[in-house]
Amino acid sequence: MRDPRAIIIRPLLTEKSVAMTAQKKYAFEVALDANKVEIRQAVEMLFPEARVAKVNTMRIAGKRRRLGGYGRRRMGRLEGSTSVWKKAVVTLREGTIPAFEGL
């Protein structure tokens, strides 16, 4: 198995994800090629007191962004996009995850 820190990139600490902690649901940004089994094993290795009941994953599409000049430099305007990334919502059977505690 890969290093758990290569699978779990960072916790997502948004207003909605912090509110989900009351239901024992925690959101993480994960590697694009990680599957549910790898995510479950990585969470249980990084947080030994946590037991995972369920993992839900979703790919978040990149959004279109305009880059470049306005005014005199209008010729250089380009379009780009933000990166595609993957989100996992982990539901715990027991235990907690310390990154979300005290928020």
Q: Is residue 100 part of a domain?
A: no
* Beta bridge partner(s), residue 71: none
Q: Is residue 102 part of a domain?
A: no
The mean pLDDT value for 61-88 works out to 81
Residue 103 near residue 24 (C-beta atoms within 8 A): no
Indicate the number of domains in the chain.
1
Query: How confident is the model at residue 100, as a pLDDT?
Result: 74
Q: Cα–chain-centroid distance for residue 79?
A: 25
Query: How confident is the model at residue 99, as a pLDDT?
Result: 76
Percent of the chain beyond pLDDT 70? 88
Q: Is 57 a residue whose pLDDT tops 60?
A: yes
Q: Is residue 18 part of a domain?
A: yes
Q: Is residue 62 part of a domain?
A: yes
Query: How confident is the model at residue 88, as a pLDDT?
Result: 98
Residue whose C-alpha is closest to residue 60's, from 32, 36, 98 = 32
Q: Is residue 38 part of a domain?
A: yes
Which pTM was predicted?
A: 0.85
Q: Is residue 29 part of a domain?
A: yes
The CATH number covering residue 61 comes to: 3.30.70.330
- Which range of residues forms the domain containing residue 71? 4-95
Q: Is residue 44 part of a domain?
A: yes
Q: Is 92 a residue whose pLDDT tops 90?
A: yes
pLDDT confidence band for 93 (50 / 70 / 90): very high
